[in-house]
């Protein structure tokens, strides 16, 4: 796919998108816009239609808010963007001169909805940004990109806003950074923008997540900004004032994608060679571990013992997490690693129990 930058040409500096979660009143929208006017904003964002989890929540002011975005363009010169989720949204956004539209996480998760938007965009040359689906489904995200591209849209970017997670976490939506990294590998020209507001869900970690995105060579950030965040009608805890946003933006350090420094690359080659050797050792050890797991599976089969042994698994996990922490490895990493290894062991032992191992 010949995917092109959403702003027409690739930027040397990060793409900056900011504005309120929701357009609430004309005064609020314009106050935010004027507060950001001189902050180097590429796109002023505001939600006009707000898909909410439960009925009764503020679901946006609707089409009326598009006239406020039009005023933002007229008074500040900034380009504007908003979320669309169906045919009517697309038509209304185009009617009022919205410069860029985006598909939200609740839309991306539904191929029927994505296709409806794609059909409405046929024949229109407008940049489109696509948020990741709520759940960590890589193929759904790719499918949404493909549907929009097949509608004739070439200026496409994606927005990484994190993924839903059931359990305790410091994030509102866990980043799962590897997923957007994999997406970039599949689509090298695709710009990836980090929605640090939705990943964090709170103000105090917004900078850290935005900087992590820059460290990973993301192409920009999308942050929710409100004149009086505590009074916001939606997602108040994750919004910041224009002044706070300017401070966040100015503190961000952009990393170089590469360098021509020969000494740097010689040192990198040496370190990467060491990593390659360690990775090979790890793979050889994994082979030995799975061979032992197969032997255990055979022994369980002969003695009619269940494959899953919860007490043993809990013992392994607790011990490994404790050992990892003592050696400066995060519990999340150790747990994810051990779970993958354990699942593979379970799969192999189940196959042995069902005589599929021998047939394979």
Window from 21-25, 100-104, 306-310 with minimum mean pLDDT: 306-310
- pLDDT digit string, tens, across residues 301-327: 999 999 988 999 999 999 999 999 999
Note whether 211 and 303 are same-domain residues: no
Question: Does any domain span residue 243?
Answer: yes
Note whether 310 and 184 are same-domain residues: no
Question: Does any domain span residue 9?
Answer: no
Note whether 219 and 111 are same-domain residues: yes
Phi, psi (deg, nearest 5) at residue 151: -80, 0
Note whether 136 and 60 are same-domain residues: yes
What is the rounded average pLDDT of the residues 117-144? 96
Q: Which of the four pLDDT bands, split at 50, 70 and 90, describes residue 9? A: confident
Note whether 238 and 289 are same-domain residues: no
Q: Which of the four pLDDT bands, split at 50, 70 and 90, describes residue 359? A: very low
Last residue of a domain, one of 225, 251, 277: 251
Question: Does any domain span residue 168?
Answer: yes
pLDDT at residue 360 tops 50: no
Question: Does any domain span residue 5?
Answer: no
Last residue of a domain, one of 251, 276, 306: 251
- Torsion angle in degrees (nearest 10) through CA of 92, 96, 97, 101: -40
Structure tokens given for 149:
């591209």
- pLDDT digit string, tens, across residues 135-160: 999 999 999 999 999 999 999 999 99
Q: Which of the four pLDDT bands, split at 50, 70 and 90, describes residue 285? A: very high
> Reduced to 3 states, what is the DSSP secondary structure of residue 360?
coil
Per-residue H/E/C for 173-207: CECCCHHHHHHHHHCCCCEEEECHHHHHCCHHHHH
User: What's the confidence (pLDDT) of residue 109?
Assistant: 95
Give the whole-angstrom CA distance, residue 205 versus residue 198: 11
Give the whole-angstrom CA distance, residue 129 versus residue 192: 9
- In the DSSP assignment, the letter for residue 132 is P
> Reduced to 3 states, what is the DSSP secondary structure of residue 227?
coil
Q: What is the CATH number of the domain that holds 276?
A: 1.20.59.10
Phi, psi (deg, nearest 5) at residue 18: -150, 155
pLDDT at residue 50 tops 60: yes
Note whether 87 and 212 are same-domain residues: yes
Q: Which of 142, 150, 166 is nearest to 117 (CA)?
A: 150
User: Distances in Å between the alpha carbon of 232 and those of 43, 48, 238, 239, 325?
Assistant: 20, 14, 10, 8, 40
Note whether 175 and 40 are same-domain residues: yes
User: What's the confidence (pLDDT) of residue 226?
Assistant: 98
- In the DSSP assignment, the letter for residue 56 is T
Note whether 32 and 52 are same-domain residues: yes
Q: Where does the chain have alpha helices with state H?
A: 26-36, 64-76, 87-95, 105-108, 111-121, 138-150, 178-186, 196-200, 206-215, 242-251, 262-302, 310-326, 331-353, 356-359
Note whether 244 and 281 are same-domain residues: no
CB of 130 closer than 8 Å to CB of 148 = yes
Give the whole-angstrom CA distance, residue 213 versus residue 128: 20
Give the whole-angstrom CA distance, residue 22 versus residue 28: 10
Question: Does any domain span residue 6?
Answer: no
Q: What is the CATH number of the domain that holds 104?
A: 3.20.20.70
- pLDDT digit string, tens, across residues 222-256: 999 999 999 999 999 999 999 999 999 999 998 88
Note whether 189 and 318 are same-domain residues: no
User: What's the confidence (pLDDT) of residue 356?
Assistant: 62
Last residue of a domain, one of 208, 223, 251: 251
Note whether 19 and 155 are same-domain residues: yes
Question: Does any domain span residue 116?
Answer: yes
**What domain range is 330 assigned to?**
262-359
Question: Does any domain span residue 245?
Answer: yes
Note whether 244 and 325 are same-domain residues: no
pLDDT at residue 168 tops 60: yes
Q: For the chain, what is the domain count?
A: 2
Question: Does any domain span residue 3?
Answer: no
């Amino acid at each position: 796919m010949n995917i092109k930058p959403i702003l027409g040409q690739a930027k040397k500096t990060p793409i900056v998108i900011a504005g309120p979660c929701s357009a609430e009143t004309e005064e609020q929208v314009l106050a935010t816009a004027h507060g950001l006017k001189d902050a180097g904003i590429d796109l002023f964002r505001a939600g006009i239609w707000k898909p909410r989890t439960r009925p009764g929540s503020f679901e946006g002011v609707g089409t009326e808010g598009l006239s406020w975005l039009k005023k933002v363009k007229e008074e500040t010169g900034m380009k504007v963007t908003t979320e669309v989720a169906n045919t009517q949204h697309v038509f209304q956004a185009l009617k009022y001169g919205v410069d860029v539209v985006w598909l939200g996480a609740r839309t991306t998760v539904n191929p029927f909805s994505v296709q409806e938007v794609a059909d409405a965009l046929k024949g229109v040359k407008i940049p489109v940004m696509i948020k990741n689906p709520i759940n960590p489904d890589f193929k759904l995200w790719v499918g949404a990109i493909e549907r929009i591209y097949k509608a004739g849209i070439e200026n496409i970017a994606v927005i990484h806003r994190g993924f839903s997670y059931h359990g305790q976490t410091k994030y509102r939506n866990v980043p799962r950074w590897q997923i957007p990294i994999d997406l970039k590998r599949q689509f090298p020209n695709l710009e990836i923008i980090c929605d640090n507001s939705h990943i964090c869900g709170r103000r105090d970690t917004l900078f850290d997540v935005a900087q992590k995105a820059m460290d990973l060579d993301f192409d920009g950030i999308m942050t929710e900004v409100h004149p009086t965040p505590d009074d916001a009608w939606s997602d108040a805890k994750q919004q910041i004032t224009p002044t706070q946003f300017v401070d966040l933006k100015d503190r961000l350090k952009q990393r170089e994608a590469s360098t021509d420094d020969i000494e740097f690359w010689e040192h990198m080659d040496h370190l990467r060679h060491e990593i390659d050797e360690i990775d090979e050792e790890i793979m050889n050890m994994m082979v030995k571990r799975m061979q032992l797991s197969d032997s255990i599976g055979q022994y369980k089969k002969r003695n009619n013992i269940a494959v899953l042994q919860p007490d043993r698994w809990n013992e392994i996990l607790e011990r490994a997490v404790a050992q990892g922490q003592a050696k400066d490895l995060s519990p999340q990493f150790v747990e994810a690693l051990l779970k993958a290894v354990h699942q593979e062991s379970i799969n192999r032992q189940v196959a042995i129990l069902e005589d599929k191992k021998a047939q394979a």
